[in-house]
Structure 1
């Protein structure tokens, strides 16, 4: 990679890094894992930088790399997880203050199946159109619509989410 392209990549990461890290954090629900995920996706993007002719599509390329990497990691971990009778220790918070609503929504999103969580994250956090989500996830637009619809219904009906907001009256 020549110096100009290297500088372009560095500028891209500096400009888009925080937004991409937020997306990675929503995909993983863990800041440290999100940093690893983003780093892996950016490494793949760096290797392909010379082949990406349309700079407007770089965000899509990085998001797709993050989704693919997250799915690969999830599949690998799924093979390593064995149920036990012991509950794991609660993870220590990283001492950042987040709003009560953000925490509750994060817990509700964590309870969604992986595909539903990815679809909701891409649709509402990344504000991607359904056609682009379908392309990223490798499914039809109809599948994206039904997946997002089911996920939103689960979030609305999530008993745990209702417990997180006792002051909010239920909608009729």
Structure 2
């Protein structure tokens, strides 16, 4: 008959019955890995936010590189650059008439909304490239861009020149 005496414990009994187990090591390694992933993700997000904020601040402070001059002004949203309201107002708007002079013989389509331009709808013809768009569509575009949505020609200089002629 063998009796178990706590004072006669072997080294194997101390390791197996002690407070240290392999499962504890796995848990600690997993926690360390998860913590490092979280710290890395936060650091990347912070750096990205600082970079984007710095880019937006420098874009709104620097002059337009498109040659728009006074016609190009920062838009209200996200540091995008578009036409100033005065330059946009200088581009004439008119009621579209199919087959009228300058309108061509066929139908016209607004390349922004992809809708057919109907007789009597208000449209703008960009002065430099002569592309035609609905007033609402092109105005929304030109508030944040100083170029034609189709050919990307600069509209700012031509709009300022058209405003000087009027």
Give the structure with higher Rg (CA): 2
Q: Which has the higher strand share?
A: 2
Instruction: State the TM-score bracket (shorter-chain normalisation).
Output: under 0.3
